[in-house]
Structure 1
Amino acid sequence: MTEKPIANLAVIGLGMATKPHLEALAELKGRVNVSGVFNRSPAKAEAVSKTFGFPVFDSLAAIAADPGTDGVIIATPPNQRAAILSEMASAGKDILMEKPVERSLKAAQDIVAECEAKGVTLGIVFQHRMRKGALRLRELVDQGELGDLALVRAEIPWWRDQSYYDVPGRGTFERDGGGVLISQAIHVLDLMLSLTGPARRVQAFTATTAQHDMEAEDFATAGIRFDNGAVGSVVATTATYPGEEERLVLDGTRGTAVLTGGKLVVTWRDGRRETVGEVSGTGGGADPMAFPCDWHRELIEDFARAIRDKRPPRITGREALRVHALIDAMTRSGASGTTVEIGE
């Protein structure tokens, strides 16, 4: 007897960011069904259909009206999402959306509030949380194994060629909401906050280097004070050729955890050493999509189960507002040269 799929999902937007979604959905066939794909370019939708065998929707209205579609994955550029999300939420479709939630903190808050008011689930794609090393680090933090958190260091030394920013709208505030902070570093910053808890205040510096001709920042650094009393630093850029793996370091009173890419190394004060996971591509070099689809697969399946079980997904829209608040504060601090307090 064939098992019924956990949920039926449609995919809206078939640009570069959709590659791991489509590969993950292909691997989830039988557990998560794809009711169809949609793109503003019909030719792109047909090409995806030919490659993966997924049906094609001819309009957003058709997805909204389809009784066989439980939820949607929205992977369009940030400036195209609000209207799409509103249409899907009004139709009662649960939503899994690519980061960021929106281009500004206020717009992100509005989207989260709308989904809550309409009673639909909103999950956000922060796949870095799904790596083995990150999951183990989550366990260590939850169990208090590292002791009291003292210091946090987030380093994102990535690279993007100028051709990446030559795509119309990319790296602009109108389309993307900013540069390296909201488009690249947001992954590591979200993971950081999921482990440390909220940030309280930030002092930042942002700039556009000679490596790129773009409107928004390709470099950002900041000092952070967290609610729990820990302090930290962030350095994020897309101007470091050829790009290196990101690092997140948590220094606790019992040990230090270093997450490099997906590999976690924990050095305990008593001399023990633990290694979990492996260093794998995360899109830090010239190819932004040079990483496996495993993390998306786990995240999409969790979202599908959340729909079926009527529970929140692993990463909710409201939880994602924390990283938006931090990025907003870093952007304002970088522009003003002052320390910025981060509100609730």
Structure 2
Amino acid sequence: MSKTRIAIVGAGLAATPHALALSELNDEVDVVGVVGRSPERIERFASTYGFPVGKSIDAVLNDSSVDGVLVLTPPHTHLELVEQAAAARKHVMLEKPLDISIARAERAVQACREAGVQLGVVFQNRFRPAVQRLAALAKSGALGPLAYAGVELRWWRPQSYYDEPGRGTYARDGGGVLMTQAIHSLDILMWLAGDVSSVVAATATTTLHSMEAEDFASAALTFESGAAGQVLATTAAFPGFPERIELVGANATAVLDGGHLRVFFQDGRVEEFSDPSSSGFGAKPMDFAHTAHRDLLRDFFAAIREDRAPLITGDDALRVQRLIERITASKGHQQ
């Protein structure tokens, strides 16, 4: 099997789990270079993980031997980088969210579609073992038709987190807790429960944080299937707690707390499944293992080789961002 050749664009906070994952996939992939706007940061990151430093983004994209790029830059930079990569016929794995607005996100997806290149998005939590088990139960029909599906994300971020330039702003991040933290759980919710037909919601910035965007959101949902739903998301719940996803079906109720899955069947059976996964729900945002990133990237590289869509596509990410936009726009009115 020939190795997939990729370049890494950006070396910020999100880059570490990707670097650790790529180190375990060196039989499948060659990192041909790391590029970015801060030479010092790029040099430090590349030397830490044994990657070469690339000359520039243009040099990477003009290299015909490069198959794809891993874009790990802040959200407001995504569209232009994706458009450049697509124009150069490079496949793209993009950190979430797609970009800071629906209009820009749609353009990123369209650019890759028109160029005929794959666009994958970093929703790595789909690859956590307990999530995979929950998905298998939901998609096999074992839970029965869903009556309710909900997410509760009670996380904590200290003020120092939002004191970093751009954090929690619309101009750089596109929003607060929904776009940066809860987006992962909302992706799983829609993956398993389907599209949403109506939203009534409220968002706020609590007194615990000084920031531009929301650190609290609550929404009542109705899914197109007719199931009821709920979202609660905050980064103001000290000291932070594992996120909870609950699916109530005609045959069973499934409750996923972090990496611990419990399934209560109406016939009396109880199934439990645990994995050691964490998600950085407390003061340390990167306090989680890189194994889900590894499996996400492995799927993406296989998609390139096999000329198929990755498990998580740009269209999947668009669905989630559209839901987030409806939640933030609702202000207590149905959307």
For Structure 1 versus Structure 2, the TM-score category normalised by the shorter chain is: over 0.9
Q: 1:225 aligns with which of 215, 222, 234?
A: 222
> Unpaired runs of 5+ in structure 1?
none
Cα offset, 1:278, TM superposition: 2.4
Contact kept in structure 2, 1:156 and 1:247, CA below 8 Å: yes
> Unpaired runs of 5+ in structure 2?
none
1:203 aligns with 2:200: yes
Q: Give the total of aligned pairs.
A: 335
1:322 aligns with 2:319: yes
Please name the residue that 1:299 is paired with: 296
Mapping 1:5-44, distance limit 5 Å = 5=3, 7-44=4-41
Extract structure 1 runs of 4+ deviating beyond 2 A: 277-280
CA–CA distance in structure 2, aligned partners of residues 26 and 303 of structure 1? 15
Question: Normalising by the residue count of structure 1, what TM-score does the alignment of the two structures yield?
Answer: 0.96
> Which secondary structure state, in structure 1, belongs to the residue aligned with residue 69 of structure 2?
strand
Contact kept in structure 2, 1:96 and 1:125, CA below 8 Å: yes
CA–CA distance in structure 1, aligned partners of residues 316 and 78 of structure 2? 18
2:67 maps to a residue whose letter is D
1:58 aligns with 2:62: no
Contact kept in structure 2, 1:57 and 1:63, CA below 8 Å: yes
CA–CA distance in structure 2, aligned partners of residues 57 and 197 of structure 1? 41
Mapping 1:1-344, distance limit 5 Å = 4-5=2-3, 7-334=4-331, 337-340=332-335
Cα offset, 1:175, TM superposition: 0.6
1:23 maps to a residue whose letter is L
> Which secondary structure state, in structure 2, belongs to the residue aligned with residue 165 of structure 1?
helix
Cα offset, 1:48, TM superposition: 1.6
Cα offset, 1:118, TM superposition: 1.2
CA–CA distance in structure 2, aligned partners of residues 286 and 235 of structure 1? 19
CA–CA distance in structure 2, aligned partners of residues 287 and 315 of structure 1? 26
2:116 maps to a residue whose letter is G
Aligned identity (percent) is: 47
1:11 maps to a residue whose letter is I
CA–CA distance in structure 1, aligned partners of residues 119 and 60 of structure 2? 17
Between stretches 26-35 and 164-173, larger displacement belongs to 26-35
Contact kept in structure 1, 2:36 and 2:57, CA below 8 Å: no
Contact kept in structure 2, 1:35 and 1:68, CA below 8 Å: no
1:134 maps to a residue whose letter is V
1:291 maps to a residue whose letter is F
Question: Normalising by the residue count of structure 2, what TM-score does the alignment of the two structures yield?
Answer: 0.98
> Which secondary structure state, in structure 1, belongs to the residue aligned with residue 14 of structure 2?
helix
CA–CA distance in structure 1, aligned partners of residues 9 and 125 of structure 2? 22
Measured against aligned partners, the alpha-carbon deviations of 1:177-223 in whole angstroms (never above 9, x if no partner) come to: 01001110000000100000101110001000011000000000000
CA–CA distance in structure 2, aligned partners of residues 22 and 174 of structure 1? 27
Measured against aligned partners, the alpha-carbon deviations of 1:263-302 in whole angstroms (never above 9, x if no partner) come to: 2111111111112232532011101100000000000010
Contact kept in structure 2, 1:32 and 1:301, CA below 8 Å: no
2:333 maps to a residue whose letter is T
Contact kept in structure 2, 1:202 and 1:222, CA below 8 Å: yes
Contact kept in structure 1, 2:77 and 2:99, CA below 8 Å: no
